[in-house]
Amino acid sequence: MPLAAIGQICSTSSMSHNLTQCISLVEKASSAGAKVLFLPEASDYIASNASSTISLCQPVISSPFVLGLQSAARTHKLPINVGVHEPAIGGKKVQNTLLWIDEDGQITQRYQKLHLFDVDIKDGPILKESNSVEKGTRMEDPFATAIGKVGLLICFDLRFPEPSLVLRHRGAQIITYPSAFTVPTGKAHWETLLRARAIETQSYVIAAAQCGFHNEEKTRRSYGHSVIIDPWGKIVAELGGEEDEHGRGLDVGEIAVAEIDLELCEKVRREVPLLRRTDVYPELA
């Protein structure tokens, strides 16, 4: 059975630093025999504010970060799924995009995040993603890979069951949620929501996560706990989170791997058939 790898990083505003982190994970995943490496949302950079998010953004075709990962994919013959920023039309905002880079270093799939995270947590972070990010406008169909048919979603999309059900309806066997979850929401809901999406779609869920403080001011912090969950809802690979005694996110710069068993996927779907009452409520397209 093919191996999938998840990689955990702590992006900063330095794209060169972030690329170094990611290339190290590519090397580890290749050495482990993985067929695909899944990296977090915003792997290219996480800025301290909306204006910096926009000013740091570069087109994919000229981004040193993306070009570096394309080269690493070619060198190691390893497909990479990675979250990056792209300039939106007009240049006033960015797009939160998930790229699929194949083993030849070509970008063959891309998905733009549908749901944006706008939140003001008491005694916690105030995050208004819509201040700098343009929301996506469409679902993308699942596509064939060495580990199965993959459907792409990002982070806050996790809170909405409809997109994952649409992807399942369209044939997905694996659904991604690369993320930069906050610590309060991560502690409350991360594992619960991911397991729910796996169980209700009877699919593998793969969620590579950012972890730790993203700037020296410690104004932005991610939960970590990257996971792979099987179609029965069982966690089959997991990395840590929070921080060590030095304030560094646990398992930053590490990978975890799991076998993707498509026969298990079909077995779960066969033995627990989900016959939807579309005579009572609409079928999701």
Active-site residue set: 41, 113, 155
DSSP for residue 65: H
Residues counted in the chain: 285
Query: What 3 state SS string does 17-50 have?
Result: HHHHHHHHHHHHHHHCCCCEEECCCCCCCCCCCH
Residue entry with tokens 């949620």 = 177
The residue to which tokens 């819509």 are assigned: 130
Q: Got the DSSP string for 161-218?
A: HHHHHHHHHTT-SEEE--B--BHHHIIIIIHHHHHHHHHHHTSEEEE-BBEEE-STT-
Question: Are 211 and 248 contacting, i.e. CB atoms less than 8 angstroms apart?
Answer: no
Torsions phi, psi of 182, nearest 5?
-70, 160
Token pair recorded at residue 25: 């994970």
Cβ neighbours of 192 (radius 10 Å): 9
118, β-bridge pairs: 128
